[in-house]
């Protein structure tokens, strides 16, 4: 393989582009599929560390893990970038029940939403149900006052693009507490943002605003939401809950950075990565362990094949995407302040499923470039090469460098919302081959991008 890699390199440097591209991409895929590290790296991140919410010991260990991996893989530079992050903890108490007028209790599978306050002991209130945030907002406060608001909005299963279904429900999680509190509610519970009907509650970020009183917010499983809605259609009920979530002062954390230094254009940087933090349930396997190992593996493969990039390829394992995005925001600010020349960015944060393609948030010229890559991937079952979102971590770069393209890796999305932010987001639910194909696609894409810019 070494001799073969050298041969590839010769071919590449001789600029007979098209044929060499196909040989290089085939070589990248072979490495990922036959000698890949992605799956064992993910096992290690999920099992040796586990869930790694910002501010936790696990997040700290994940930083250590990422730095060590990059050194093992002999990237040209490896360093930590200091950032300030929020610190929220779920605490140990977390339970919820609905209680019929006969006093019988029905326990639900509940997870506090990330950023919620606790209940300060047991909280109880009469339930009032809404099917959307708009329905809640249009309601007379007198009906809501001192109640527990239950928002039972279902993700639209008819959306083929599951992220669109997620986007349609996101406001109930992000803004439910504020809107319910405006009307005098004492707490809010939402139907989990998950597609299957099951018992896994899905957490995720929510926010408060200063002028509105903070009330506790939690998600219950989709099956519990169905059962509760049915129960409420037959009579009234109250909700009993306890959560001891807490906010702590901001603390120091790190983005983990590794680079392959560019040859003739080393000052021009292609940033790519995923987020190292996860929610504090499951193992953050798809979200975003998969993105982390995709990108680690993509760069390991290029290094192993002795590929010498023109531009500097910079892998960033961003901290704190889930509850603040301080990794992404700080990174964009720091590199701008340093006067760095960022030329493109790529993110993987949609899970470790079979690759479908790449999207681009950028000008027409970059969409055209992206479309020109499609034929290179025709033997690899990739078919989405179109305008679309980049990713949360890299999005702040757009404010600092409005002209650069942000690319998003697009795997198949059908199973993502089975696991997203739920206890089921564990290593066992990631398929080895699908994960490896993602790493190979990203590595090939970085190679093409580096050559084209």
CA distance 370 to 355: 15
Give the single-character DSSP code of 114. B
Site string for a copy of itself, 154-193 (x = CB under 8 A): ---xx-x---------------------------------
Site string for a copy of itself, 317-356 (x = CB under 8 A): -------------------------------------x-x
| Among positions 14, 15, 18, 34, the unique one binding a copy of itself when judged by CB under 8 A | 34
30 is a site residue for a copy of itself (CB under 8 A)? yes
Q: Render 326-361 in DSSP notation, one character per residue.
A: HHHHHHHHHHHHTT-EEEEEEE--S-SS-EEEEEEE
Question: Segment near a copy of itself (CB under 8 A), from 177-185, 266-274, 376-384, 399-407?
Answer: 376-384
Q: Minimal CA–CA distance to 345: which of 287, 258, 273?
A: 273
Question: Which CB atom, from 5 or from 30, has the smaller least distance to a copy of itself?
Answer: 30
Question: Which CB atom, from 197 or from 251, has the smaller least distance to a copy of itself?
Answer: 197
380 is a site residue for a copy of itself (CB under 8 A)? yes
Query: What crossing angle do the helices spanning 432-452 and 17-34 adopt, rounded to 10°?
Result: 150
Q: How far is the CB of 216 from a copy of itself (least distance, A)?
A: 32
Judge whether 36 and 296 are in contact, CB under 8 Å.
no
303 is a site residue for a copy of itself (CB under 8 A)? no
Residues within window 381-420 making contact with a copy of itself, judged by CB under 8 A:
381, 383-384, 412, 414-415, 418
Q: What are phi and psi for residue 90, nearest 5 degrees?
A: -70, -30
376 is a site residue for a copy of itself (CB under 8 A)? no
Q: Render 143-175 in DSSP notation, one character per residue.
A: HHTTPEEEE-PPP-TT-SSHHHHHHHHHHHHHH
CA distance 232 to 236: 6
Question: Which CB atom, from 15 or from 158, has the smaller least distance to a copy of itself?
Answer: 158
Residues within window 223-262 making contact with a copy of itself, judged by CB under 8 A:
none
Judge whether 278 and 318 are in contact, CB under 8 Å.
no
Across the beta sheet with 105-108, the strand order is: 105-108, 94-100, 237-243, 123-130, 148-151, 187-191, 217-220, 110-112
Question: Which CB atom, from 114 or from 355, has the smaller least distance to a copy of itself?
Answer: 355
Beta-bridged to residue 407, according to DSSP, are 346, 360
Instruction: Identify the H or E element spanning 81.
Output: strand 77-89
204 is a site residue for a copy of itself (CB under 8 A)? no
Question: Which CB atom, from 405 or from 411, has the smaller least distance to a copy of itself?
Answer: 411
Burial class (CB in 10 A: 0-12, 13-18, 19+), 89: middle
- Three-class secondary structure of residue 260 per DSSP: strand
| Among positions 265, 431, 451, 452, the unique one binding a copy of itself when judged by CB under 8 A | 431
267 is a site residue for a copy of itself (CB under 8 A)? no
Residues in the chain: 453
| Among positions 24, 28, 29, 313, the unique one binding a copy of itself when judged by CB under 8 A | 29
Q: How far is the CB of 41 from a copy of itself (least distance, A)?
A: 17
Q: How far is the CB of 131 from a copy of itself (least distance, A)?
A: 16
Question: Which CB atom, from 130 or from 417, has the smaller least distance to a copy of itself?
Answer: 417
Using CB under 8 A as the criterion, which residues of the chain lie in contact with a copy of itself when the complex forms?
A: 29-30, 33-34, 157-158, 160, 195-196, 354, 356, 379-381, 383-384, 412, 414-415, 418, 431-434, 437
């Amino acid at each position: 393989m070494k001799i073969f890699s050298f041969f590839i390199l010769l071919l590449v440097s001789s600029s007979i582009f098209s044929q060499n591209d196909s040989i290089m991409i085939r070589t990248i895929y072979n490495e990922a599929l036959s000698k890949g590290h992605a799956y064992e790296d993910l096992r290690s991140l999920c099992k040796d560390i586990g869930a790694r919410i910002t501010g936790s010991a696990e997040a700290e260990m994940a930083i250590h893990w990422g730095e060590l991996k990059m050194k093992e893989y002999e990237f040209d530079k490896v360093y930590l970038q200091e950032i300030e992050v929020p610190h929220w903890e779920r605490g140990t108490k977390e339970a919820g029940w609905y209680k019929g007028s006969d006093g019988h209790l029905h326990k639900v599978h509940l997870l506090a939403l990330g950023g919620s306050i606790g209940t300060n002991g047991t909280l109880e209130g009469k339930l009032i149900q809404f099917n959307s945030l708009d329905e809640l907002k249009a309601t007379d406060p007198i009906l809501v006052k001192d109640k527990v608001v239950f928002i039972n909005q279902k993700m639209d299963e008819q959306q083929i693009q599951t992220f669109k279904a997620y986007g349609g429900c996101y406001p109930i999680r992000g803004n439910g507490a504020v809107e319910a509190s405006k009307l005098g509610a004492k707490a809010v519970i939402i139907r989990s943002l998950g597609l299957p009907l099951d018992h896994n509650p899905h957490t995720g970020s929510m926010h408060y605003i200063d002028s509105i009183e903070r009330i506790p917010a939690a998600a219950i499983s989709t099956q519990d939401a169905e059962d509760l809605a049915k129960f409420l259609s037959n009579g009234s009920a109250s909700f009993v809950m306890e959560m001891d979530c807490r906010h702590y002062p901001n603390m120091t954390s790190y983005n983990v950075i590794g680079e392959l230094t560019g040859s003739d254009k080393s000052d021009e940087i292609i940033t790519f990565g995923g987020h190292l933090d996860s929610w504090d349930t499951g193992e953050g396997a798809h979200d975003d362990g998969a993105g982390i190992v995709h990108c680690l593996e993509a760069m390991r493969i290029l290094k192993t094949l002795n590929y010498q990039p023109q531009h500097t390829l910079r892998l960033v394992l961003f901290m704190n995407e889930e509850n603040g995005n301080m990794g992404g925001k700080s990174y964009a600010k720091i590199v701008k302040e340093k006067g760095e020349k960022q030329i493109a960015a790529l993110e993987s944060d949609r899970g470790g499923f079979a690759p479908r393609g790449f999207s681009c948030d950028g000008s027409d010229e970059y969409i055209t470039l992206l479309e020109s890559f499609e034929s290179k991937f025709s033997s690899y079952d990739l078919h989405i090469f179109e305008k679309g979102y980049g990713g949360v971590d890299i999005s702040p770069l757009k404010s600092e460098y409005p002209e650069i393209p942000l690319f998003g890796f697009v795997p198949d999305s059908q199973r993502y919302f089975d696991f997203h932010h739920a206890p089921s987001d564990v290593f066992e639910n990631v398929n080895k081959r699908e994960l490896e194909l993602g790493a190979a696609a990203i590595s090939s894409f970085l190679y093409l991008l580096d050559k084209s810019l």
